[in-house]
Chains A and B, each alone.
Chain A
């Protein structure tokens, strides 16, 4: 069975500071991993995805994530936070066999302080 754990339901950073949002997964098969962002009362937008190619994945808006198999982690980072980054972020896992199942974490709400 697959699962996703996001550590920290709320994270606050100062504008210009490093953003680090944590995601650990559990999967018995090679995983596909995703980060999505959600702004209030909107749908989810894909930030980046890992599909077994390069372990360091670059996404939109300056975000990137590194797949670490030994740590079963896929943490999301951005070197310098911007006010517009304030949103909720979701990590999700699927499996490489192409089944329908996408498991989402419970989300991390990012607050950016001026």
Chain B
């Protein structure tokens, strides 16, 4: 079945460590997005990519990095520079509307 796969579902990290969240899609959509979700704040855009080898910062890109080497993949790295990384992270693709993965919950210990 076509869809978006995010992994891991749950991740724990110590302060000062970088972590990478995986997002893979087989929907053949060009555009991919990363959102951060915090309670009571809705979804905030971290990065988006309209096409392979191209990506742009969203509203809260500081402390995050991405790559888009393949159409199917858009990994997000949460670096140690991100001051408050504990959150629920959602990957999405776009074709008319946004299609979401199941999310990854990152907890910093």
Contacts and interface: CB of A to CB of B under 8 A. Distances in A.
B105 A104 contact: no
Given A104-B42, A106-B40, A45 B97 contact: no
Interface residues of B, number: 25
Interface residues of A, number: 20
B97 A49 contact: yes
Contact of A43 (B48, B56, B97, B101): B101
B73 interface: no
Ordered nearest first, which 9 A-B pairs have the shortest CB separation? A43-B100, A106-B42, A104-B43, A104-B42, A44-B100, A43-B102, A43-B101, A43-B103, A100-B48
Interface of B: 4, 6, 31, 33, 40-43, 45, 48, 50, 56, 88, 90, 92, 94, 96-103, 105
Interface of A: 9, 34, 36, 41-46, 49, 51, 90, 92, 100-102, 104-107
